[in-house]
């Protein structure tokens, strides 16, 4: 979709593109054409902008959900039942894009990883590389050994409580790192949180096996 120009009135420096239906100018972030009312394709905007949220790790969860549900209501398939097939498909693509944005921003780990990407950091959480962090690898090994040696559901529960407490602290560490624009520290904490999540999932499976 070719960019038309930047015009005042839809936010400072708002980018406008031609509406697919009437060819009139419409803000690239708009769901609907200002002229003819046709739903617009989702475009390539980032997840924060798509949901009307300021980019950052610390989000207002209530506002995020409210924004998401509001957009989903106006894109409900029933609203487009009498529209041409092309417009129904465009509305569906908007709904899919909003779902992806919400699922990413609603999960702290995914949100942190995504935010790192926006800031130019290719987080190891997404690249699945071998981690070059001896301390983290040792911690992960010790936790797995403790899990393998646990002989009761109660013992596993204790390990899960400890890991959960650490995960909560890591969320605070990630928040502080982003606030200080210390992307390296944020990335280290994100990677550690990834390992803890994997450990907690393994622990849940092990506990379920012992309880069955």
What global pTM score does this model have? Answer: 0.85
User: 132 and 81, same structural domain?
Assistant: no
Banded model confidence at residue 11, pLDDT cuts 50, 70, 90: very low
Please state, in angstroms and rounded to a whole number, the distance separating the CA atoms of residues 153 and 196: 18
Helix (H) or strand (E) segment spanning residue 26? strand 25-27
For the segment 89-111, what is each residue's pLDDT rounded down to a tens digit? 999 999 999 999 999 999 999 99
CATH number of the domain that 193 lies in? Answer: 1.20.1280.20
Map residue 17 onto helix, strand or coil.
strand
Q: Which of 115, 5, 110, 144 is nearest to 53 (CA)?
A: 115
Read off the pLDDT of each residue in 38-64 and give the average, rounded to a whole number: 94
User: 134 and 102, same structural domain?
Assistant: no
For the segment 112-130, what is each residue's pLDDT rounded down to a tens digit? 999 999 999 987 644 445 5
Name all contacts of 154-158 with Cβ < 8 Å and 24+ positions apart. Answer: 156/203, 156/206, 156/207, 156/210, 157/207
Domain boundary among 72, 106, 140: 106
Please state, in angstroms and rounded to a whole number, the distance separating the CA atoms of residues 131 and 144: 16
Helix (H) or strand (E) segment spanning residue 211? helix 183-211
**Does residue 9 belong to any structural domain of this protein?**
no
**Which range of residues forms the domain containing residue 95?**
16-106
DSSP state of 79: G
Given a contact cutoff of 8 angstroms between Cβ atoms, the answer to whether 1 and 21 are in contact is no
The region of weakest confidence among 24-28, 95-99, 107-111, 196-200 is: 24-28
User: 90 and 53, same structural domain?
Assistant: yes
User: 205 and 169, same structural domain?
Assistant: yes
The rounded percent of the chain whose pLDDT value lies above 90 is 76
Please state, in angstroms and rounded to a whole number, the distance separating the CA atoms of residues 11 and 27: 9
For the segment 126-182, what is each residue's pLDDT rounded down to a tens digit? 444 556 678 888 888 999 999 999 989 999 999 999 999 999 999 999 999 999 999
Residues 6+ positions from 81 with CB-CB distance below 8 Å: none
């Amino acid at each position: 979709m070719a960019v038309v120009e930047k015009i005042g009135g839809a936010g400072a420096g708002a980018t406008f593109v031609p509406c697919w239906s009437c060819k009139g100018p419409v803000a690239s972030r708009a769901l609907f054409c200002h002229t003819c009312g046709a739903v617009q394709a989702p475009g390539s905007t980032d997840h924060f902008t798509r949901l009307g949220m300021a980019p950052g790790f610390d989000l207002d969860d209530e506002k995020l959900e409210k924004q998401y549900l509001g957009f989903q209501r106006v894109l409900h398939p029933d609203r487009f039942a009498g529209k041409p097939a092309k417009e129904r498909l465009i509305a569906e693509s908007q709904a899919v894009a909003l779902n992806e944005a919400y699922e990413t921003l609603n999960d702290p780990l995914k949100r942190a990883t995504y935010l790192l990407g926006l800031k130019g950091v290719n987080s190891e959480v997404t690249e699945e590389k071998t981690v070059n962090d001896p301390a983290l690898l040792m911690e992960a090994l010790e936790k797995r050994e403790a899990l393998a040696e646990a002989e009761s559901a109660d013992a596993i529960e204790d390990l899960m409580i400890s890991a959960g407490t650490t995960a909560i602290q890591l969320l605070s560490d990630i928040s502080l790192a982003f606030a200080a624009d210390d992307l390296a520290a944020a990335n280290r904490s994100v990677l550690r949180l990834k390992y803890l999540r994997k450990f907690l999932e393994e622990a849940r499976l092990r506990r379920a096996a012992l309880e069955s």
